Amino acid sequence: MRAGGDVQRNESALMVRHAPSGAATAAIVTLHGGREVSRRAARPWQPAALRMHPVLRAAAAASPGDVLLGHVRYRYQGWNDSDPAQDALRALDELERLVGDVPTILVGHSMGARAALRAASHPLVHGVLALAPWCPPQDSAAHLGGVRLVVVHGDRDRVTSPAESADYVRRARAAGAQAGMVMVKGGDHAMLRRSADWHRATGEIVAQILQPDQDAQGLATQACAADGAIDL
Q: CA-CA distance, 33 to 77, in Å (whole number)?
A: 8
6 pLDDT higher than 50: no
Least confident window among 52-66, 108-122, 191-205: 52-66
Give the model's pLDDT for residue 216: 64
Q: Which domain holds residue 167?
A: 3-231
The 10s digit of each residue's pLDDT in 47-64 is 999 999 999 999 999 887
| pLDDT value of position 65 | 78
Euclidean distance between CA atoms 189 and 166, whole angstroms: 16
Residue 111 has pLDDT above 80, yes or no: yes
Higher-confidence residue: 182 or 63? 182
CATH of the domain at 29: 3.40.50.1820
Average pLDDT over residues 84-102: 97
Q: What is the band of 3 on the pLDDT scale with cuts at 50, 70, 90?
A: very low
Check residues 216 and 43 and name the one with the higher pLDDT.
43
Is the distance from CB of 61 to CB of 90 less than 8 angstroms? no
Model confidence at 1, pLDDT cuts 50, 70, 90, reads very low
Q: Which of 95, 127, 134, 93 is nearest to 112 (CA)?
A: 134
- Cβ burial 72-86 (10 Å sphere, 16+ → b, else e): bbbbbbbbbeebbbb
Q: Taking 70 as the threshold, does the pLDDT of residue 171 lie above it?
A: yes
| Mean pLDDT, residues 74-98 | 98
**% residues pLDDT > 90 (the chain):** 88
pTM confidence score: 0.94
Residue 183 near residue 198, CB atoms below 8 Å:
no
Q: What is the pLDDT of residue 155?
A: 97
Strand runs labelled E in 73-219: 104-109, 125-131, 148-154, 178-184
SS3 180: strand
- The pLDDT mean for the chain works out to 93
State residue 2's pLDDT score: 35
Report pLDDT for 227.
93
For the chain, the domain total comes to 1
